[in-house]
């Protein structure tokens, strides 16, 4: 096992990776940009290296700077986390070239699976079903128009290099297609530098179900069952759970085997996720492979009892998996709610600013992976994820009830969060029934408004703060601390409030 690991990321995921590395006796190195000088992930590491300006391109996306940081501090391995460079094959290649270990698959496999069209081709070759569509490179719009008639409407125009809904268009009929092709290609060209688009049948009511896999360098591969991530806003997950109510043991086994077949067929090594769409008739279709640790990996950890980061580091160091498929025996039900700084009343627009106060909920079966503390500034430069709240309980109703109570006590003040929104989603009848699908929030919660609360309690709290003086809150509440250097009251005593 290597002795020193650089984490090329920030926020909650950097801290989460550092926790396991420390448990394994591996020294940790954080990197930080200008905006992150005071961020909790910097303090969570054994050492920290400054990597440049706040803009991601100058720091967290700067391959050469990161490699130099690793070399300079004697790190032997780099963990990319999720986002940033985690799925960038050029980064994985450069890390390997420098004789460092990249915690993830090889750059070749990442490149093959990163392109949606070639990933689908690999899936088909491995016998994994794909969504009916037209995925031929070099297709001109004439060929696409002709193919569309065979696929049928509605269909999706998707960017081959795409992700996060960019370069994607829903087309209801033939007349809309030419415009949609041009728009999607233009958007993809701008966003990814590659305007290649393809066509796929649109599944009206589908669940997002993904299979977590592990594969080592000794040819062993297994899956850790599914996560359902159908609750999405703007094509991005916000609530995830395992198991999915839509899978019976037979379907679970078939999806798991399909994922393992794809992993073995593509030569994939390390932890990864194979994403599928599952339609109402129980048919599943390959969507894509995420060649990294997922944001929502924690729910799998809760039910399986495995530490996925530990598995990743062991695999990266060349060790063989110690478990077999038969050892994977998940227990109970786990849920995750992502706590973003965003405004559910304004289309989930980011809500940057200073976290004036943050406090973690406590109780049986709770886990909070957090990247903030009271006083943390939420920068406009990065993904506004603050923390991930996870619960584990014996069954789904108990997990939902546990999550609702945990959210009520997951205090975040100073920036807006969707906590009240997620409480309402969890308590809604369709969610409780497990009638979840990727358009769930658009269908049921587009017009969401907060419930009216007990106004006198808010008014009383206001009066108490004014009466008792601002002394207790001045350090972080008046916005002065960051500009005027460390204020002892913001540094001392607030450290353990959330994490």
Partner 1 sequence: MSFELEVIKGSVEMERAEDGLGWRLRLDDDELLAVPDAGDPQRFVLTRAGQAHTVYAVGAKDGVWVWHDGTARLVRERRAGTRSAGGESEAGEVTPPMPGVVVRVLCEPGQSVKKGQDLVAISAMKMESVLKAPRAGTVAAVRAVVGEQVKPGDVLVEFEPEADAADAKGGSDE
- Cite the active site residues: 292
Could you say which residues in the range 416-475 bind partner 1, by CB under 8 A?
Answer: 416-417, 419-420, 423, 449-468, 470, 472-474
Minimum distance between the CB of residue 227 and partner 1, rounded to whole angstroms?
A: 24
Cα separation, 393 vs 332, in Å, equals 6
Q: Which of 412, 425, 481, 498 binds partner 1 (CB under 8 A)?
A: 412
Residue number, 145 or 474, with CB nearest to partner 1: 474
Span near partner 1 by CB under 8 A; candidates 154-162, 327-335, 349-357, 432-440:
349-357
User: 1, 24, 413, 482: which one contacts partner 1 (CB under 8 A)?
Assistant: 413
Member of 119, 277, 316, 407 binding partner 1 (CB under 8 A): 407
Q: Of 24, 356, 398, 401, which lies in the binding site for partner 1, with binding defined by CB under 8 A?
A: 356
Helices (H), 59-140: 63-73, 89-97, 107-114, 116-125
Q: Which of 155, 205, 163, 440 is nearest to 289 (CA)?
A: 163
Q: Which stretch binds partner 1 (CB under 8 A): 85-93, 99-107, 264-272, 346-354?
A: 346-354
| CA dist., res. 375 & res. 219, Å (int) | 47
Our CA dihedral for 192, 198, 203, 206, rounded to 10 degrees, sits at -40
As beta bridge partners, residue 31 has: 49
CB of 481 to partner 1, least distance (A): 13
User: What gap in Å lies between CA 275 and CA 287, rounded to an integer?
Assistant: 5
Looking at the Cβ atoms of 320 and 468, the one nearer to partner 1 is: 468
Instruction: Output 317 or 356, the one with its CB closest to partner 1.
Output: 356
Closest contact distance (angstroms) between CB of 395 and partner 1 is: 23
Helix runs in 277-395, H state only: 297-304, 308-316
As measured in angstroms, the least distance from the Cβ of 211 to partner 1 is: 32
For partner 1, the closer of residues 125 and 468 by Cβ is 468
Count CB atoms within 10 A of the CB of residue 323. Answer: 14
Tokens of 69: 């940081």
d(CA 59, CA 72): 16
Give the chain's end-to-end CA distance (angstroms, integer).
28
Q: Applying CB under 8 A, does 350 fall inside the site for partner 1? A: no
Closest CB to partner 1 among residues 273, 351: 351
Q: Among 91-99, 197-205, 210-218, 344-352, which window interacts with partner 1 (CB under 8 A)?
A: 344-352
CB-facing half-sphere around the CA of 3: CA atoms within 13 A: 2
Residues 6+ apart with CB under 8 A from 9: 17, 31, 41, 60, 79, 80, 81, 82, 83, 84, 86
List 234, 331, 408, 432, residue binding partner 1 (CB under 8 A): 408
Query: Least distance in Å: CB of 406 to partner 1?
Result: 10
| Residue 227 CB contacts under 8 Å (≥ 6 apart), including other chains | 209, 210, 212, 240, 241, 242, 244, 294, 296, 299, 300
| Residues 309 and 152 sit within 8 Å (Cβ to Cβ) | no
* Residues 357-376 close enough to bind partner 1 by CB under 8 A: 357, 359
Minimum distance, C-beta of residue 492 to partner 1, in the bound complex (Å): 13
Q: Give the binding-site size for partner 1 (rule: CB under 8 A).
A: 49
Residue 47 vs 405, nearer CB to partner 1 = 405
Q: Counting Cβ atoms within 10 Å, is residue 455 exposed (0-12), middle (13-18) or buried (19+)?
A: exposed
Pattern 477-496, partner 1, x by CB under 8 A: xxx-----------------
Nearer to partner 1, 35 or 260 (CB): 35
Q: Residue 427 Cβ, how far from partner 1 at the closest point, in Å?
A: 11
Stretch that binds partner 1, among 19-27, 96-104, 200-208, 354-362 (CB under 8 A): 354-362
- Please list the residues that pair with 32 across neighbouring strands: 50
Least spacing, CB of residue 347 vs partner 1, in Å: 14
Is the CB of 126 or the CB of 497 nearer to partner 1? 497
CA Rg, the chain, in Å?
23
Transcribe 421-448 into DSSP letters: HHHHHHHSHHHHHT---TTHHHHHHTT-
Provide, rounded to whole angstroms, the least separation between the CB of residue 454 and partner 1: 7
C-alpha 382, offset from chain centre: 13
Token duo for residue 205: 């009511």
**Residue placing its CB nearer to partner 1 in the complex, 155 or 378:** 378
The residue ranges that bind partner 1 (CB under 8 A) are: 345, 351-353, 356-357, 359, 407-417, 419-420, 423, 449-468, 470, 472-474, 476-479
């Amino acid at each position: 096992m290597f002795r020193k690991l650089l984490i090329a990321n920030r926020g909650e995921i950097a801290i989460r990776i550092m926790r396991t590395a420390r448990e394994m006796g591996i020294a940790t190195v954080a990197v930080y940009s200008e905006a992150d000088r005071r961020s909790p992930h910097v303090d969570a590491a054994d050492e920290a290296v400054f990597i440049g300006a706040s803009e991601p391109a100058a720091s967290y996306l700067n391959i050469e700077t990161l490699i130099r940081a690793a070399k300079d501090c004697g790190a032997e391995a780099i963990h990319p986390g999720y986002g940033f460079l985690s799925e960038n094959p050029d980064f994985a290649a450069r890390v390997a070239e420098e004789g460092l270990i990249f915690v993830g698959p090889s750059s070749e496999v990442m490149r093959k699976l990163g392109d949606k069209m070639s990933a689908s081709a690999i899936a088909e070759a491995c016998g994994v079903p794909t969504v009916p569509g037209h995925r031929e490179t070099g297709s001109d719009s004439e060929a696409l128009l002709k193919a569309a008639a065979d696929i049928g409407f509605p269909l999706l125009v998707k960017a081959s290099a795409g992700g996060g809904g960019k370069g994607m268009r829903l087309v209801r009929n033939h007349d809309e297609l030419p415009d949609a092709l041009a728009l999607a290609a233009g958007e993809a060209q701008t966003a990814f530098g590659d305007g290649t688009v393809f066509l796929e049948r649109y599944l009206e009511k589908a669940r997002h179900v993904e299979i977590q896999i592990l594969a080592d360098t000794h040819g062993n591969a297994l899956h850790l069952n599914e996560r359902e991530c159908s609750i999405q806003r703007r094509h991005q997950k916000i609530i995830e759970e395992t198991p999915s109510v839509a899978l019976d043991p037979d379907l679970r086994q078939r999806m798991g085997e399909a994922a393992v077949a794809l992993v073995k067929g593509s030569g994939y090594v390390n932890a990864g996720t194979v994403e599928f769409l599952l339609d109402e008739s129980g048919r599943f279709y390959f969507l894509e492979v995420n060649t990294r640790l997922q944001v929502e990996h924690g729910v799998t950890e809760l039910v399986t009892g495995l530490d996925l980061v530990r598995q990743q580091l062991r695999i990266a160091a060349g060790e063989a998996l110690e478990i077999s498929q038969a050892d994977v025996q998940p227990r109970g039900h786990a849920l995750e709610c992502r706590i973003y700084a965003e405004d559910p009343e304004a289309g989930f627009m980011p809500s940057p600013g200073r976290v004036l106060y943050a406090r973690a909920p406590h109780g049986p079966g709770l886990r909070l992976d957090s990247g903030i503390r009271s006083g943390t500034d939420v920068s406009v430069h990065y993904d506004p994820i603050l923390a991930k709240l996870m619960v584990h309980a014996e069954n789904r109703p108990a997990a939902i009830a546990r999550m609702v109570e945990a959210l009520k006590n997951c205090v975040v003040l100073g920036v807006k969060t969707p906590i009240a929104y997620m409480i309402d989603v969890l308590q809604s009848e369709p969610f409780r029934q497990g009638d979840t699908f990727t358009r769930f929030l658009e269908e049921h919660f587009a017009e969401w408004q907060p419930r009216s609360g007990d106004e006198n309690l808010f008014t009383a709290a206001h009066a108490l703060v004014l009466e008792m003086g601002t002394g207790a809150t001045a350090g972080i509440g008046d916005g002065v601390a960051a500009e005027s250097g460390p204020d002892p009251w913001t540094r001392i005593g607030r450290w353990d409030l959330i994490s």
